[in-house]
Amino acid sequence: MRIILLGPPGAGKGTQAANIVEEYNVPHISTGDIFRKNIKEGTELGKKAQEYMNEGKLVPDELTCGLVASRLSEDDCKNGFMLDGFPRNTFQAEYLDRYLTENNIGLDKVINIEVDSNLLVERACGRRICKNCGATFHVKFNPSKVEDVCDVCGHNLTQRPDDNEETVSHRINVYLSETKPLVDYYTKKGVIANIDGDQDINKVFEDIKAALA
Ligand code: ADP
Ligand code: ADP
Ligand code: ZN
């Protein structure tokens, strides 16, 4: 299964990615997670990416595209993959198309999770993440059993520095101007499945499974 997850910040991509990985046994490739790991480890890439991420801007394509191509060429992607947060603009989508064509790889589905902009700020600002295992929670919509403690691994939960109202609003605008055009792009290619993301987390996953069946 070769899948792309598309949707605005806070739509539920990471949450559904965890479900999809479990169900379809494909590697989860999140460019945001890769950048955050590099920031944590203090790499050169991390230092460069951090400036953009803190302002809610896209990390430049020349830092992003090659990274994804080299990840896709690893062995565990041979039988499938799930891209989460890439591509995010037309340049990246065309880059990915060239990579896939050159390597004779087809896409199965682009899962487009749709959520109205006015719900996204509350979703992102209430998000809590586990830096240890990557699990995602929400203070109101998907709380951990014990406050600020990860259900999966027991580590403390944290808030992403870019999950504040100002930065989230900026990220939503970036999504609308740069990423949303990809909905059209993939609709024309006939591979898109539009999923209503304003439903219970389990119902959203049911709809995704139906779209992938
Ligand atoms: P994305 O990866 O698209 O930015 P996340 O999966 O991290 O989004 O979800 C953003 C926040 O919204 C998280 O705190 C998550 O727990 C919560 N969330 C995800 N899906 C839903 C949903 N269907 N209903 C309510 N809250 C949700
Ligand atoms: P969300 O789904 O909540 O927007 P992500 O974890 O996907 O969060 O991305 C966080 C940040 O990482 C983005 O705001 C952007 O700065 C950077 N980023 C992630 N993926 C890309 C990408 N494909 N191109 C450019 N920047 C990216
Ligand atoms: Zn954890």
Ligand 2 proximity of 34 Cβ (cutoff 6 Å): no
Give residue-wise pLDDT tens across range 108-145: 999 999 999 999 999 999 999 999 988 999 999 999 99
Q: What residues make up the domain containing 101?
A: 2-116+184-212
Euclidean distance between CA atoms 184 and 149, whole angstroms: 40
Total of domains in the chain: 1
For residue 146, CA distances in Å to 27, 149, 166, 197 come to 29, 6, 28, 26
- Identify whether 163 is part of a domain: no
CATH of the domain at 43: 3.40.50.300
- Identify whether 154 is part of a domain: no
Angle at 137 between CA 41 and CA 44, to 5 degrees: 15
- Identify whether 138 is part of a domain: no
- Identify whether 78 is part of a domain: yes
Q: 10 Å Cβ neighbour count for 37?
A: 15
- Identify whether 81 is part of a domain: yes
Residue with tokens 């389990």: 202
Ligand 1 atom closest to 199 (CA) = 23
Nearest ligand for residue 128 CA: 1
Give residue-wise pLDDT tens across range 20-74: 999 999 999 999 999 999 999 999 999 999 999 999 999 999 999 999 999 999 9
- Identify whether 131 is part of a domain: no
Binding residues: 10-15, 31, 36, 57-59, 85-88, 92, 127, 130, 133, 136-137, 150, 153, 160, 171, 199
Claim: this prediction has a pTM higher than 0.85:
yes
